[in-house]
Amino acid sequence: MHFVHRRCLLIAIAGITITMMAIVVVGVLGLMRGPSTATQPESSEHETSRSTTYQRPDRPRPLLITLDAELFARSISHGLFNWDTRYVGGPSPWAQVLVDVADPGEGPAVASDIRRFLPVTEMWEQLADYGTRQWLEVKSLDVPDAWSTALRQAAPGQIPQGASAFTIVGTAHREGTWGTDIIRTERDVTFTVFVRCPGAEPCTLLRLSQLDKPLK
């Protein structure tokens, strides 16, 4: 993963994966000489199409309630990547909207998965100094071949009824402010979302793959 450097600020706003957190911290510490902003919550986000664009977030928004597995997976992907450090409360409110749609019994596991996608609290505070915000542009969403194979080979009851997997490829965009300059970075990302849509009830989130280690 490569970052464009502008006095180390780009390191601070471009580090997306947990494995790069240490590099980002070093970059931010080098920027403590220079400067930094806030907003509030609202109703649910309703997607009406399978478009790959998504408005930039300014507050945590409840995820889509739907029976459509693909639309739900798209909503999850945006919930994972769309955040704004200018909103008070740290990463917890952004994580909570995802935990709220976890499948019953999978809450703790889903919460653990989500933590791998969001900056930890200390890093969030560093990014907040630059008013950092992030959003995801979805390029593609497909059922991985490995999932189709798993469905064919699974024993009865081994996979929850209504379960689906979608591998998502997209670009994560970050934007922050250094003094009066707007700094932007982007990075290609891929991951798999496992959801359950039983039919008569709204879809729920089962699990998430690791970032950049999708099911293929």
The string of pLDDT tens digits covering residues 154-179 is 999 899 999 999 999 999 999 999 98
The Cα–Cα gap between 28 and 37 comes to: 17
| Residue 154 · residue 173 · CB < 8 Å | no
SS3 readout for 43-63: CCCCCCCCCCCCCCCCCCCCC
Dihedral sign of CA atoms 93, 96, 100, 101 in order: positive
In a domain, 104, yes or no: yes
In a domain, 3, yes or no: no
In a domain, 167, yes or no: yes
pLDDT in tens, 9-32: 454 544 543 333 332 332 232 222
In a domain, 170, yes or no: yes
How many structural domains are present in the chain?
1
pLDDT along the chain (216 residues), means of 10: 43 42 30 26 35 64 96 98 96 97 96 97 96 97 96 92 97 94 96 96 97 96
In a domain, 2, yes or no: no
In a domain, 215, yes or no: no
Burial (CB < 10 A; 0-12, 13-18, 19+), residue 109, is middle
In a domain, 179, yes or no: yes
Cβ partners under 8 Å of residue 51, min gap 6? none
Structure tokens at 106: 């999978």
**Residue numbers of the domain that contains 35:** 9-208
